[in-house]
Amino acid sequence: MWQTRVNKIWQMSKWFVGGGVLSVLFYDNVGYVHTVRGRSMSPTLNPGPTRTLLRERVWLSKFSFTPLVDDIVVFRSPKHGNRLAMKRVAATAGQTIVPSKLMKSGGSPVLIKPGYVWVEADNRDTAGRDSNEYGQLHEKMIVGKVTWLLWPWSRIQDLRKTQPPYFRLNDQTESDQTASISEQTKLFPEG
């Protein structure tokens, strides 16, 4: 009788251990639901005016990929230990970009080195902890690519098709940059 109970417990524990191993493999290799915190990616993510609306959920794909301009990525912060940050890729290897903090003061462009990317927040007013603070980000620091907005239900969308409010690759003319900014202002009015 006790052998039957032990056998049942053994069978159940194999299922739990197997499920746990599969969960870890899925998390490490496929992806997971990631919570967006803060306003740095607003208006694309967390556009709401209240704290309760600042907890959107996205799908973070961990499949291998090459970062492209406009991709939203999650990465390990180079200056803040294992903290994760979410920003948009503004430039990739071989491109030049004028950092947003230097844009107003007329700073010089930055040439992105091979194996590195430049990431910036969508919301320039609350931006921080991006390449303006710590420079070019090595591609190995990227954990995954944000592909879908999952929560709240009313905002479900494919984030691979979103456009940033504005970025200034150096090959754009100043009038192109101004037109892009004014167009985005129409799409995402303040207030």
In angstroms, the CA 51 to CA 160 distance is 25
* The predicted structure's pLDDT at residue 123: 83
pLDDT in tens, the chain (191 residues): 667 877 888 778 877 777 777 677 666 777 888 888 888 888 888 877 655 555 789 999 998 889 999 999 999 988 877 889 999 999 999 999 988 777 666 678 899 999 999 999 888 776 667 888 888 999 999 999 999 998 888 888 888 888 877 654 444 444 444 444 434 333 333 33
In angstroms, the CA 165 to CA 139 distance is 23
* The predicted structure's pLDDT at residue 130: 85
Distances 131 to 67, 69, 78, 89, 90 between C-alpha atoms, Å: 15, 14, 10, 10, 9
Predicted model pTM = 0.74
In angstroms, the CA 54 to CA 33 distance is 15
CB distance 142 to 129 below 8 Å = no
In angstroms, the CA 42 to CA 99 distance is 19
In angstroms, the CA 46 to CA 56 distance is 6
* The predicted structure's pLDDT at residue 1: 64
In angstroms, the CA 50 to CA 52 distance is 5
Structure tokens at 24: 């870890």
* The predicted structure's pLDDT at residue 160: 86
How far does CA 163 lie from the centroid of its chain?
Answer: 13
* The predicted structure's pLDDT at residue 171: 46
